[in-house]
Structure 1
């Protein structure tokens, strides 16, 4: 299975300090780091939901994860290094509890030694390359299941293939030989500089974060610098192109497209696309950013509102080293109102019958607490906004309503509860269990129902947390039909503790913050949303497996479990008979409907690209693969552009026809309305 570090781990690898001096001697921990680590472990052992202690077993996990954090693709360490580190596999727990964090620095010193050896090899041998691109050989971009190299010769051969693949990718993207050489040299110069800037605090942060994530993937350690920068980035993230990024090996990968931003409005860049170059304006020089630190890439992409940035990207469907393309985006500031709930009426013609459907797109579960506390009667909140939108939609005589929660990562728990209350009379919405096994109910106490008509909720793999609470409650109450993909599976609650409140450190020094998991969500049926997520009533084609893109991809994720269900009164609006009828209609369309067949083909193509990690270093073979993929995309586009006039093919008007999931969701909604009669 492909190895994915958590977003926090990936950021920590790259968010390093701007030190003015290079490392001339081995890094050492600051005098108070041991006390800080000991305190963090005491808090984790005492208060973490999981109620586990740092022991020999967890020590072995931490060692493995720390090594992978430093060398996540087995490109630096030798097998002998790993064997040597095993002396710590049952010692890290005891040493950390004693305030000894020296193993983190010992292992890092060896990594730095191996890194310098690799750079010496690259600069001394490979940059004077004369690669033969007619040979049939391959490079594995994912080495997580492979062994570490036995010796330097094996590592040399691996790095020869790494550089050969990079050069071939540049050649296939039309770069001249002189330009390729300059790009590669610049790339490795920056790579060396980034590693040389690691300081003692950075190593401690990597290590303590690895310890925290061993308890569960949402427990983390933030150094003072990272905490400040994280808050800064959170505020700055609303300016620029509107995309969240993370490091994936040497690439900058798009993680999320923010609602209302230039990226979303353009529809030119999508999650899992890789950014390999950034240029300013319409004619600025394209700067290669492979191997760059994430914050440096972000600084290049950000800029004043109204200015243009050009990005060279490798689309997700092209694979890791597929053909790139250049896109232009005009920077803008994402306004708060662009991130709020939005509604539209979509006319649908289905089997000769015309419908008017309301679609409410909900990017997050938000509430303006500051305005609420000030007594502002017009404060923004998810529930207030959706209530207003529903009332507006009903004046237009809608036949059904869809709540679109795709890519909604959650937010306010209170808003998820209140929003559910717009659709049910009253009753429990979620159960929240703490580490002491105490269970609290989150209830809707208002018996008013704002909308009682046909309802669907659309989710995907990236719908999480509060989205899962809402979708699960609508499903459990039989109030609406849930469509789409199985959701992410984040059913836990975290809290941040400032370690500085409990430690005395030298004047002028600061300590970090610890985020740890304290609670867990359960549906009214007693089933947890953790790990398992919410399974739709009707599953749409998906390219994203839970094992690689959901909570299940995290080895330390808390497990799914079940508690006693609470008393609640389901509605009778979604009956088994109706759901069976609608499901049959959908299964029939899977066999006969061209739109759905196209969607299945696209998801299978994307799934194949994501899973393909063995790439050819033969130029003709790579060109053939790229040409075939482009041919399939061109044929797909041509089929989509053809006029639809055959019996059984539905029409959807006034909607972006590229959004095939929304189109199919509206067709299912029309089947629901028809089944209700």
Structure 2
């Protein structure tokens, strides 16, 4: 805590990562680790199996089940069992993880077993576990418009990951956002899509190289972002692949929200500045600074061989090709969509030690035909659809209700009054839900608990897909003219 408190006096994104947190960061960036392939959670004094990760050692063995409770862990088949009842979750995780091909022995109370039932022992050989559920994924959403069905591809990009350990070891099949998205685009185009949405909601960033590489899948060679270091030196970062390799040239939109930050903002800004597509959603986070990781182990080494962790230090700021920083201000969408996220409380501008917004000189880049007139038409069409969309109106009602609750400056201390207010709010939510259902011709529900979350639509994604459908319609009506270009100084 002291190390982080000191680092945060520099700026919000300089920090200290302990050895354990350094490993967690590496896992997030590579989407892989060596272990048994099970997700864990606490259950009272126990750590239990929350789920089995497909493709991992536990899934292959088939002996470990969800809801099993772990009472002990041993290293090797003949190792001494360490009682882990009452332990912290991350301490148990550290015991279970280990080198590839090593054996870990678990002492288990099987799920749904009666009190006093005998414990069982399971030996598992650790292996590489790939976190595919955290990787980019794709789907196709169908949009009905004027008697025609349009297919809009959606690629959800949760982070900008790259497995540098595999890359540096010469593994050509290393995991990365750009490689996954390129593969997903090819799969979507095989199925025949009319447009594409890149969903960056909640994407807090990742590797800068992945942001520039992903931009290269949609933009011909050219600068993607500018970087100014602490000495004031400005460098231009292009797509790292020197060979033009645009993977998709059709209509597209980038969907963002207030939690879209850093590398997400680099990509969104590039798509916007090159007039390659439209950015829709909410103003992004506003993190326009760049950090480097400095391992403390290069200066000294701890006796227990765990190391001292690493420092994440801000080394500069990045700027759009237009010269504007995304720091503090983020990326403003071409078409704003409603959001329940309060931009006054969330974002770089809400942080006291955040660096200010500024500009540098514009770099030369070749942009597509300006989209201002098209964006105006798209906005009008979106607004007309939204007025008659029960799901959209439901979303607006929920946002207004949340704002009203947040605006309250006082609360009653009378318990019965509080209970009555809570019941009234639940009834209002139920009324809004049934209003939406009746408008859509869906059977109403008697209780909010009867609602299946999986059946609830992704309203903002539906709106983004509708906007891309408009883009595809415009391109079709125009006969898909060749792209024009302009050179900006």
TM-score normalized by the length of structure 2: 0.71
Query: For 1:448, which of 242, 245, 255 is the aligned residue?
Result: 245
Q: State yes or no: 1:524 paired with 2:321.
A: yes
Q: Are residues 558 and 242 of structure 1, via their aligned partners in 2, closer, same or farther at CA, if it must alter by over 3 Å?
A: farther
Q: State yes or no: 1:342 paired with 2:146.
A: no
Distance in structure 1 (CA, Å) of the matches to 2:224 and 2:257: 21
Q: Which 5+ residue runs of structure 1 have no aligned equivalent? A: 1-11, 13-204, 244-260, 263-279, 284-294, 310-332, 647-654
Segment of structure 1 superposing worse, 545-554 or 444-453? 444-453
Distance in structure 2 (CA, Å) of the matches to 1:366 and 1:617: 48
Distance in structure 1 (CA, Å) of the matches to 2:160 and 2:134: 10
SS of the residue 2:397 aligns to: helix
Deviation at 1:575, TM superposition (A): 2.1
Deviation at 1:428, TM superposition (A): 0.4
Query: For 1:435, which of 225, 230, 233 is the aligned residue?
Result: 230
Distance in structure 2 (CA, Å) of the matches to 1:519 and 1:396: 43
- Look up the match of 2:437: 641
Deviation at 1:447, TM superposition (A): 2.3
Q: Are residues 373 and 348 of structure 1, via their aligned partners in 2, closer, same or farther at CA, if it must alter by over 3 Å?
A: same
Query: For 1:568, which of 333, 356, 365 is the aligned residue?
Result: 365
- Look up the match of 1:386: 181
Query: Which structure has more strand as a fraction of its residues?
Result: 2
Map 1:257-656 to 2 at 5 A: 296=88, 335-444=130-239, 445-497=242-294, 514-572=311-369, 575-610=371-406, 612=408, 614-642=410-438, 644=440
Query: Which structure has more helix as a fraction of its residues?
Result: 1
Q: State yes or no: 1:231 paired with 2:22.
A: yes
- Tell me how many residue pairs correspond in the alignment: 392
Contact 2:280 2:335 in 1 (8 A): yes
- Give the number of the structure with larger relative contact order, counting CA–CA contacts within 8 Å between residues 6 or more apart: 1
**CA-to-aligned-CA distance 1:239-269 (integer Å, 9 cap, x gap):** 77699xxxxxxxxxxxxxxxxx97xxxxxxx
- Look up the match of 1:659: 458
Query: For 2:11, which of 216, 238, 263 is the aligned residue?
Result: 216
Map 1:26-45 to 2 at 5 A: none
SS of the residue 1:215 aligns to: coil
**CA-to-aligned-CA distance 1:391-435 (integer Å, 9 cap, x gap):** 111122211011111111111111111111111111100001101
SS of the residue 1:662 aligns to: helix
- Look up the match of 1:26: none
RMSD: 3.8
- Look up the match of 1:671: 470
Distance in structure 1 (CA, Å) of the matches to 2:286 and 2:356: 10
Q: Are residues 629 and 446 of structure 1, via their aligned partners in 2, closer, same or farther at CA, if it must alter by over 3 Å?
A: farther
**CA-to-aligned-CA distance 1:74-115 (integer Å, 9 cap, x gap):** xxxxxxxxxxxxxxxxxxxxxxxxxxxxxxxxxxxxxxxxxx
Contact 2:394 2:433 in 1 (8 A): no
Distance in structure 2 (CA, Å) of the matches to 1:508 and 1:576: 58
Q: Which 5+ residue runs of structure 2 have no aligned equivalent? A: 32-36, 42-49, 52-65, 70-86, 97-105, 113-127, 443-453, 478-489
TM-score normalized by the length of structure 1: 0.52
Q: Are residues 613 and 462 of structure 1, via their aligned partners in 2, closer, same or farther at CA, if it must alter by over 3 Å?
A: farther
